[in-house]
Structure 1
Amino acid sequence: MLSPAKGRLYNVSCPGAGRELEGGTVFSATGPAGGGVDVQALAQRAVENLRLEGADIGIAPKPSGVGVVGMPVWIWNKPGPTRTGPATASASAGGVTVTARAKVRKVVYGMGDGSDPVVCTAPGTPYAAEYGKRMSPDCGHRYTAPSSTVDGGRYRVTATTTWDVEWAGAGQTGTITTTRDASTSVEIREVQVLN
């Protein structure tokens, strides 16, 4: 009984002269001559060079302030290439360059009160005083209980950013999905009404 040979299949091509020269798929136990370039590893390096970050969480009420049960809470991701995209970076090795382009697909906010997560597909609208007591048009929440009901007396707000990264190089393309996390906290109180 023959044991299977260990190695990999390689797609051989010679780009650069305006058209691909003859090549094809070959098996090699040791890799292509000259060591070759692992394009997918290069793509991963391009993704690292993007230096993607989690959301820079903007929230009203501010973490240094106090919110009120039942009042709108506005949430947004402060813009920037490494926070909201688009972002572009490259990595090169052995004459091969891979370029990666990243954009945010969504940010999922856990509000810390056990409610369903808030899913935002846009960066969100920063709160301004003229908005008064209106709800955010694209990324908001209302607390129904004071934060004194949780450990530490503050709701921990988490943000998980999902990035879609498209890469291309050496005649190959692909998509990598990656996530980044961030958090903040808010204090929410109940208003006592006197009769």
Structure 2
Amino acid sequence: MRWLPSAPEADVVTRAEAEAAARQAAASIGIEAIDLGIHPRGDTAARMSVVGWNTWLWAESPSSTQWGTMSTSATAAGITVSLNASSSQVTWSMGDGATVSCGQGTRWTMAGTGGRNVPSPDCGYVYDSEGRYTVTASTDWSIDWSAAGYSGTIPLEVRRSAEVIVGEMQSVNLAGA
């Protein structure tokens, strides 16, 4: 009888190692927060919003790393990871305690509204008091990954904020004027 050493086992990747590589790869694909589309913009006193006015909210000219779906593969820690990332919801924190959840939203245009105070067809808000508010748009991403025979999902939230000024219009009736 003759003894032969067995062949060395190939490096075995554990689930924890595959998931760590997936998280590292996901961090490297450059997902970023949307640019905020808000009308009225409310960023200056001349362009402030008004109490009772329909504020439109949307993802402004989003790139594939800001909205939608993207697929890629990346290598992290010597492990090749396939990634499929998608976003489908933006949660807008309006700065007054209220939130609005919607998809990409519709960009406000003068041509589309005739300049009238009409509600957004899919993502809007109406302030009921004047003030300065910090509006934050949080986009939820779901990143499905597979590597070394394992798979899973990584949730990711990215956000961006802007200050919005909301004023109040008042009218005065003068008798006999």
Q: Identity rate of aligned residues, in percent?
A: 37
The answer for unaligned runs of 5 or more in structure 2 is: 1-8
Q: How many equivalent pairs are there? A: 156
Counterpart code for 1:118: V
Partner of 2:108: 127
Structure 1 residues 90 and 45: alpha-carbon distance in aligned structure 2, compared to 1, 3 A threshold: farther
Note if contact 1:45-1:91 (Cα within 8 Å) is conserved in structure 2: no
Structure 1 pair 94–177 and aligned structure 2 pair: CA distance change class (3 A): closer
> Separation in 2 of the partners of 1:125 and 1:95?
42
Shift of 1:91: 2.1
Corresponding residue number in structure 1 for 2:92: 109
8 Å CA contact retained: 2:21, 2:77: no
The alignment's TM-score, normalised by the length of structure 1, stands at 0.73
* Cα offsets for 1:92-145 (capped at 9, x unmatched): 25764111111113111111122x31011x110010013121101111000111
Local SS of the residue matching 1:101: strand
Q: Which 5+ residue runs of structure 1 have no aligned equivalent?
A: 1-31, 148-153
In the TM superposition, residue 42 of structure 1 has moved relative to its aligned partner by 1.4
- Preserved CA contact (<8 Å) 1:125 1:136: yes
- 75, 82, 91: which one pairs with 2:57? 75
Higher relative contact order (CA 8 A, sep 6+): 2
Q: RMSD value over aligned CA atoms?
A: 2.0
Give 1:41 shift: 1.4
Structure 1 stretches of at least 4 aligned residues deviating more than 6 Å after TM superposition: none
